[in-house]
Amino acid sequence: MKLRIAIQKEGRLSEWSVDLLRQMGLRFDTYKRLLIAPCRNHDVDILFLRDDDIPEYVQDGIVDLGIVGDNVVNERAAKVDRLRPLGFGLCRLQIAVPQSGKIKTVKELNGMRIATTYPTILSSYLKKEGVKAELVPISGSVEITPSLNVADAICDLVSTGTTLTTHNLVPIATVMESEAALIANPERCKAADTGARIRDLVMRLDGVINARSKKYVMLNAPQSATEKIRDIMGGSKSPTIVPLADTGLVAVHAVVAEDEFWEKMEKLKSFGATDILVMNIEKMIV
């Protein structure tokens, strides 16, 4: 049987999800937004669904894997394994109130009305905070409810904060942080056949994720600086150091974390490094 992976059909996560699966080496068409796209080079079908349906489809085994926001998984209280966070679709579920109003803290929400499309997550948060508020579950455009006097506060996803500002709302609490994640059906992960194939895909995914934050650096340096260079180019493994035909020089190759990259470059130059080449890594299997 083929493995099935569900991704969002149309929305914020769609393009990222398609790109990621392609980087993992899966070849499939997205022509005219088919509902199911079979992979040409792998025993996998990609299903394009509304994001809200993905957690249940994974939980019920209709698909084996899914890519969806943590916010949706938690709201649906789906019993799935979260295999990997994916680093896109980053947002926060926040409670916000009218800027000019009296409410400034979560405790002051006692007895107030809060509009949200996330009633499950919000009610467990309020319970934990010991706040009794009236939830107003709605299906969209949460940000306009205070101005319509439908609610005193809202609980909605925020990424840049522009929507809140535009509607004169300010956040007073973060209920959860969220990002897209690869989720899986727990039984399929345990089963011998599907488990092995899921692990193969996760290994490919790790290769893509590891490569994203790393650069491959090649440089030439005086042989006398070899020890110092080895110390700072630790990277994932010790660097490769080979003597050059020119006596007294070595070539150094290493994988370096992107966020430490500039700091290391400065030091390497001060040790006499020249001809520094920095390359993107397509995949990195460690």
Q: Rule CB under 6 A: which residues touch ligand PRT?
A: 8, 11-13, 50-52, 69, 71-72, 89, 91, 156-163, 178
Cβ closer to ligand PRT: 119 or 195?
119
Sign of CA dihedral 161, 164, 166, 169: negative
Tokens matching residue 74? 């938690």
Instruction: Choose among Zn ion, ligand PRT, none what residue 211 binds, the Cβ cut-off being 5 to 8 Å by kind.
Output: none
> Which of these segments, 48-56, 197-205, 215-223, 241-249, binds Zn ion (CB under 5 A)?
48-56
52 binds Zn ion (CB under 5 A): yes
CA distance 114 to 180: 25
In the complex, minimum distance from the CB of residue 69 to ligand PRT, in angstroms, rounded to a whole number: 2
The option from Zn ion, ligand PRT, none interacting with 152 (CB < 5 to 8 A, set by class) reads none
Q: How far apart are CA 197 and CA 44, in angstroms?
A: 10
Structure tokens at 209: 């994720």
Non-local (6+) Cβ contacts of 214 within 8 A are 235, 236, 255, 256, 257, 258, 281, 284
- Find the part of the chain contacting Zn ion (CB under 5 A) among 32-40, 43-51, 176-184, 198-206: 43-51
Helix (H, G, I), strand (E, B) or coil at 59: helix
Q: Which is nearer to Zn ion, 51 or 64 (CB)?
A: 51
Spatial distance between the Cα atoms of 166 and 158, rounded to a whole number of angstroms: 12
Contact status: 51 vs Zn ion (CB under 5 A): yes
Task: List residues binding Zn ion (CB under 5 A).
Answer: 51-52
